Amino acid sequence: MANTIKTKVGIIGGGPSGLLLSQLLDLKGIDSVVLERRTRDYVLGRIRAGVLEQGFTDLMREAGVAERMDAEGEIHNGFEISDMGRLHHIDLKGLTGGDTVMVYGQTEVTRDLYDAREARGGKVIHEAMDVQPHDLTSDAPYITYTRDGEKCRVDCDFIVGADGFHGVSRKSIPEDQITEYEKVYPFGWLGILSETKPVHPELIYARSERGFALCSLRSQVLSRYYVQVPLDDKVEDWSDERFWDELKARLPEDVAAKLETGPSIEKSIAPLRSFVCEPMRYGNLFLAGDAAHIVPPTGAKGLNSAASDIYYLYHAMVAHYDEGDSTGLDSYSETALRRVWKAQRFSWWMTSMLHNFPDNPDFDRKIQNIELEYFLESEAARASLAENYVGLPF
Ligand SMILES: Cc1cc2nc3c(=O)[nH]c(=O)nc-3n(C[C@H](O)[C@H](O)[C@H](O)COP(=O)(O)OP(=O)(O)OC[C@H]3O[C@@H](n4cnc5c(N)ncnc54)[C@H](O)[C@@H]3O)c2cc1C
């Protein structure tokens, strides 16, 4: 094929996983090509995660893309849980012996990664259509795609599927070679972004009779708020005014009284799902990030789990190319999945503890109430929550 590129690692997906991996590999002299279906503006327009674990921020520093994050990101030493109108502080720093999280939007992370790839002359090909990986179990896998109507091909040693939950990579693995584990929750999150001052300096996770709410933020002038909604609700059902009224009704009265409202600049509903695909490798295709696993956003683990995959994959590839040692690649799936499942457990647990499950029997509701009460009263239990929230070690 005329338009054939040769590289070491062909990466499908130009989200945070794919970009971070290509940047890290590049710094070690390992060439890669990133194929992204969308335009750069489209990718940067997606409003998603915002809470970064220490491991993620360290990886951004290792990738040489942390300057703006360190200048503009906000360190959070803790967060609040509001239980039926009463605030309880979770002192992450105190409970973990010094660990914290950073609030810095996924959009900004992605922007910094794109800028870094551009500055180093990285190959990120946007609007790559009909992307398809081939010959995955051979030593010479390749990817085909179409760009501007022309058929193109990437020849490589390895393919990394970093193309999110709906991507083509996972679907290219024969069904009998993988097992998919899934839990779909009976509600979604309606989220808005507004150019208003956050109601509280730290995040507030609120459980109320009317359902869950989250007060989050991207900066001191940009707030992100969510309310739990039934799965069949539509964005059009929710005027800004209705959203603000509902959010206030789920917060403690003194917090609601301080809430600054304004027009939403983004509004969307996301269904909540737990999902893991095992194994995360098929031949010379490696899955990473949302392509292999999804969590409900309650524990802020989605982007952070993607980062731990990239950490393992990056180190495994460096060992392979620099030292001819492929043990890291051989154990990638097992190693990554161990941490993935811990993040799954934590996200499921936070979701189960804080949301209203309309069809749950009374017994389950009683257990849910006492579970939260126990966690708020017990220092040991709060320490466990804090340890997971700041992120387990890679
Ligand atoms: C609505 C929403 C809200 C979220 N909120 C949070 C949150 O608050 N906290 C949190 O921790 N996590 C959150 N997440 C999860 C977090 O955003 C993801 O875990 C993170 O984006 C994973 O990064 P990724 O690079 O693995 O996948 P993605 O960000 O999905 O990137 C995959 C990329 O691959 C591209 N792609 C897809 N198919 C193809 C193809 N066939 N060919 C080429 N390219 C393709 C896509 O366009 C995309 O750019 C949220 C996710 C969603 C969807």
Taking only the tens place, the pLDDT of each residue in 74-122 is 999 999 999 989 999 999 999 999 999 999 999 999 999 999 999 999 9
Which residue is closest in CA terms to ligand 1's atom 13? Answer: 49
Structure tokens at 57: 């921020």
- Which atom of ligand 1 approaches the CA of 216 most closely? 8
What is the three-class DSSP state of 177?
helix
Query: DSSP class of residue 236?
Result: G
Q: From the candidates 185, 312, 321, 389, give the one annotated as an active-site residue.
A: 389
**Amino acid letter, 96:** T
Establish whether 271 is a catalytic residue.
Answer: no
- Please tell me the number of Cα atoms within 13 Å of 238 on its side-chain side: 24
Beta pairing partners, 75: 102
How do strand 222-229 and strand 213-219 relate by DSSP bridges? antiparallel
Q: What is the pLDDT of residues 317-365, one digit of tens each?
A: 999 999 999 999 999 999 999 999 999 999 999 999 999 998 999 999 9
- Which atom of ligand 1 approaches the CA of 288 most closely? 26
Residue 241 CA to its chain's centroid (Å)? 29
Establish whether 267 is a catalytic residue.
Answer: no
Beta pairing partners, 226: 191, 214
Whole-angstrom Cα distance, residue 246 to residue 239? 11
Q: How many residues does the chain have?
A: 394
Percent of the chain at pLDDT above 90? Answer: 96
pLDDT given for residue 220 in this prediction: 87
Whole-angstrom Cα distance, residue 110 to residue 50? 12
Task: Name all residues whose Cβ lies below 6 A of ligand 1.
Answer: 12-18, 35-38, 43, 48-50, 106, 128, 131, 162-164, 167-168, 270, 289-290, 297, 300-304, 306
Establish whether 297 is a catalytic residue.
Answer: yes
Q: What is the pLDDT of residues 279-315, one digit of tens each?
A: 999 999 999 999 999 999 999 999 999 999 999 999 9
Structure tokens at 365: 């509701």
Distance 341 CA to ligand 1 centre (A): 18
Distance 164 CA to ligand 1 centre (A): 5
pLDDT given for residue 218 in this prediction: 85
The 10 Å Cβ neighbour count of residue 146 is: 15
pLDDT tier for residue 238 given thresholds of 50, 70 and 90: very high
Q: Omega before 279 cis (within 30°)?
A: yes
Instruction: Note the pTM of the prediction, 2 decimals.
Output: 0.96
Q: What are the phi and psi torsion angles at 179 (to 5°)? A: -120, 135
Contact 300, 389 (CB under 8 A): yes
Distance 237 CA to ligand 1 centre (A): 26
Q: What is the pLDDT of residues 161-201, one digit of tens each?
A: 999 999 999 999 999 999 999 999 999 999 999 999 999 99
pLDDT given for residue 319 in this prediction: 98
Establish whether 312 is a catalytic residue.
Answer: no
Establish whether 389 is a catalytic residue.
Answer: yes
The mean pLDDT value for 252-260 works out to 97
Distance 255 CA to ligand 1 centre (A): 32
Contacts of 215 (CB under 8 A, 6+ apart): 198, 199, 200, 203, 204, 206, 223, 225, 247, 251, 255
Query: DSSP class of residue 172?
Result: G
